[in-house]
C-alpha cells in the first residue's frame, strides 16, 4: 500500500466494518479507526466471534482487567495439536506474552531484572557505540535504506549481546524472527504454522546448542542467568528457557525497528517538527513518546474474556476474543487534543503503545533508550537528511506498523 502522506484523517465512507484487506487500510488505518471509535466503539468483527475495541478508555480497561486473559485452557489436559503444526504452536504457548498468572508471573519475574531502567542506563554507552558504528558504515554513501542498514541491525545487535548469542548470526535471527512475527499476526494461516514449525525446530536447535555451551562455561549474559534460574531454583524448564530467548529476540526485532523507521519517516514528513528537534535536541525523549503514540509500532493485541463482561452496550461472552487497538486508542480525541497532529512537545502523553496491565512491555525502557539514541544520533550526524522517495509502502499487517523500506539521502 503506497501512501502519499497526508496530515489529516479523511472521513470514512460507507458502513464501518473491520476488514483490513480493503484498499487504503494499510496506508492509513486511522481513517477506519476514527470511524469505529465514533460510530461502533465495541465492534463485532465480521465473519468471526471476535470484538474490536478502539476507544482509549475501553482499550485500557480490557488490558488492565483480570477478567480478560490470554488463554482459556487453564485446567484439564491440553487440546490435541496436529503434529505438523505442533512445534510452532507449542513455542508460542510458552511465551510469557501468551500466559496468565501464575505462569506469567513466574516467567516474567525471571527475566524482568535485566530490563529495569537502571540496567538499561548501564547499556547506554554500548547502544551509542553500536549506533555510531552503523552510522559510520552508511556515511560513505549518498543514499541508504534505513530499515535494513540502520533500524534493523541496532536492536538486533543489542538484544543478541544481552542474551549472549553471536550478533554475527543476525541474518538468521532476521529470517527466524520475521517468521515468528507472522505467526503472531492475527491472520496467520495453517500453512504458515506448518512452515513455521520447520523453522521453529531449526531455531530451537540453534538456541539449544548455545544453552549447552553456556552450561559448560557460563558467561555474564542473560542466557547464563536463565540457566542459573533453571538449575538452582528449578523455576524454569529448558523448553521455557528457549521460548523466552526466542520471545526476546523477536520482541526486539519487529518493534524497535518500527519505532526507529516510523520515527525518522514521520519527522522527515513534518519538517517543522524535524527543525524543532534539530534546534532543541533535548526534546528527543518527548519526540520518541510522540512517535510511539502517532505511529504505534504495535497496533493491536488481543485478550480472551474469562467470564461474561459488559463493555458499553455490548456483552462479551466467556471465551470470546477481544482485539485491542492500541493504534486507535492512541489517536482518541477524548485523551489527546488534536490527535492527528504530530507534536513532539505534547504533554502529557499517556499513550498505550507499550500496552498496560500485567503484560506491559518488558522491553519498554530498552526500546525508549534505543529509539532516543538512534534517532537523536542520526539527525545530529545528518542534519539535512531527506527522503529519497516521497511515497512509502507499509507492510500488510494489522499487528505491526512497519515500513517495507525507507530510502533516504544522507546529506551531512
| DSSP per-residue codes, 296-310 | -SB-EEEEEESS-EE
C-alpha cell at 20: 483490513
Closest distance to ligand HEM from the beta carbon of 135 (Å): 20
β-bridge partners, 43 = 52
Q: Which residue is nearest to ligand HEM (CB)?
A: 363
Q: Given the complex with ligand HEM, which of 88 and 248 has the nearer CB atom?
A: 248
Maximum C-alpha span of the chain: 63
Closest distance to ligand HEM from the beta carbon of 244 (Å): 8
Q: Given the complex with ligand HEM, which of 62 and 410 has the nearer CB atom?
A: 62
Q: Given the complex with ligand HEM, which of 164 and 297 has the nearer CB atom?
A: 297
Closest distance to ligand HEM from the beta carbon of 77 (Å): 24
Closest distance to ligand HEM from the beta carbon of 228 (Å): 19
Closest distance to ligand HEM from the beta carbon of 301 (Å): 3
Contacts with 33 (C-beta within 8 Å, 6 or more apart), sequence order: 54, 325, 327, 328, 331
Q: Given the complex with ligand HEM, which of 85 and 154 has the nearer CB atom?
A: 154
Q: Given the complex with ligand HEM, which of 164 and 252 has the nearer CB atom?
A: 252
Closest distance to ligand HEM from the beta carbon of 143 (Å): 26
C-alpha cell at 271: 519538517
- Other CB atoms within 10 A of residue 171 CB: 9
Using CB under 6 A as the criterion, which residues of the chain lie in contact with ligand HEM when the complex forms?
A: 96-97, 108, 155, 159, 247-248, 251-252, 255-256, 259, 297-298, 301, 326, 353-355, 359, 361-363, 366-367
C-alpha cell at 113: 531484572
Q: Given the complex with ligand HEM, which of 35 and 323 has the nearer CB atom?
A: 323
Long-range contacts of residues 265-272, Cβ cutoff 8 Å, at least 24 apart: 265/295, 265/387, 265/392, 265/403, 265/406, 266/291, 266/294, 266/295, 266/342, 267/291, 267/375, 267/379, 268/385, 268/386, 268/387, 268/408, 269/5, 269/387, 270/7, 270/342
Amino acid at each position: 500500500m503506497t501512501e502519499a502522506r497526508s496530515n489529516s484523517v479523511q472521513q470514512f465512507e460507507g458502513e464501518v466494518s473491520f476488514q483490513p484487506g480493503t484498499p487504503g487500510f494499510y496506508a492509513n488505518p486511522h481513517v477506519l479507526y476514527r470511524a469505529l471509535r465514533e460510530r461502533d466503539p465495541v465492534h463485532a468483527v465480521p465473519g468471526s466471534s471476535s470484538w474490536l475495541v478502539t476507544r482509549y478508555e475501553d482499550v485500557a480497561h480490557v488490558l488492565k482487567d483480570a477478567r480478560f486473559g490470554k488463554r482459556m485452557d487453564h485446567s484439564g489436559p491440553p487440546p490435541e495439536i496436529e503434529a505438523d503444526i505442533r512445534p510452532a504452536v507449542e513455542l508460542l504457548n510458552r511465551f510469557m506474552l501468551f500466559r496468565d498468572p501464575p505462569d506469567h508471573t513466574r516467567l516474567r519475574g525471571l527475566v524482568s531484572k535485566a530490563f529495569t531502567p537502571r540496567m538499561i542506563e548501564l547499556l547506554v554507552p554500548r547502544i551509542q557505540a553500536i549506533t555510531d558504528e552503523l552510522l559510520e558504515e552508511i556515511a560513505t554513501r549518498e543514499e541508504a535504506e534505513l530499515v535494513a542498514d540502520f533500524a534493523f541491525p541496532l536492536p538486533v545487535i543489542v538484544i543478541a549481546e544481552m542474551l549472549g548469542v553471536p550478533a554475527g548470526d543476525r541474518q538468521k535471527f532476521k529470517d527466524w524472527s520475521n517468521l515468528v512475527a507472522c505467526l503472531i499476526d492475527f491472520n496467520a494461516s495453517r500453512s504458515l504454522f506448518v512452515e513455521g514449525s520447520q523453522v521453529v525446530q531449526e531455531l530451537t536447535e540453534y538456541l539449544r546448542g548455545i544453552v549447552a555451551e553456556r552450561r559448560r562455561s557460563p558467561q555474564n549474559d542473560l542466557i547464563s542467568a536463565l540457566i542459573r534460574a533453571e538449575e538452582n531454583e528449578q523455576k524454569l524448564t529448558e523448553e521455557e528457557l528457549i521460548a523466552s530467548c526466542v520471545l526476546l529476540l523477536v520482541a526486539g526485532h519487529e518493534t524497535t525497528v518500527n519505532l526507529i523507521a516510523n520515527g525518522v519517516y514521520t519527522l522527515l514528513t513534518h519538517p517543522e517538527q524535524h527543525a524543532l528537534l534539530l534546534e532543541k535536541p533535548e526534546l528527543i525523549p518527548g519526540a520518541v513518546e510522540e512517535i510511539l503514540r502517532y505511529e504505534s509500532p504495535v497496533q493491536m493485541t488481543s485478550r480472551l474474556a474469562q467470564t461474561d463482561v459488559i463493555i458499553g452496550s455490548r456483552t462479551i461472552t466467556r471465551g470470546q476474543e477481544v482485539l485491542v487497538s492500541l493504534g486507535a486508542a492512541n489517536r482518541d480525541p477524548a485523551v489527546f487534543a488534536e490527535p492527528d497532529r504530530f507534536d513532539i512537545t505534547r504533554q502529557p502523553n499517556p499513550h498505550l503503545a507499550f500496552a498496560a496491565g500485567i503484560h506491559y512491555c518488558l522491553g519498554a525502557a530498552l526500546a525508549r533508550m534505543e529509539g532516543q539514541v538512534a534517532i537523536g544520533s542520526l539527525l545530529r550526524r545528518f542534519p539535512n537528511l531527506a527522503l529519497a522517495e516521497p511515497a512509502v509502502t507499509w507492510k500488510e499487517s494489522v499487528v505491526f506498523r512497519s515500513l517495507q523500506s525507507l530510502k533516504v539521502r544522507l546529506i551531512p
